Amino acid sequence: MPRTRVFVDLFPGRTREMKTQMVKELTDVLVNDLGCDRNWVHISVAEQPLEDMAIAGIWADEYLNRKKQQQASEE
């Protein structure tokens, strides 16, 4: 049976419990929908610091702060 590899790149801040639930459910989907062998489903989860990522040409932490400020001003 071929191996199925999934890479998930997340912003930091999710708890271990949240990530555990995500990998369980993702594995279940691959097994049920694609017929993958559960023992050959490999999931890698990476969390990169916001200061090392950019969105729309600005650092991710700055981008997210701007979004929060915009939402607050709209309320």
CATH code (residue 41): 3.30.429.10
pLDDT of 71: 92
Q: First-to-last CA distance in the chain?
A: 53
pLDDT above 70 as % of the chain:
99
Beta-carbon-side half-sphere exposure of residue 67 (alpha carbons within 13 Å): 9
Domain with 29 in it: 4-74
Domain count, the chain: 1
Q: What is the pLDDT of residues 21-39, one digit of tens each?
A: 999 999 999 999 999 999 9
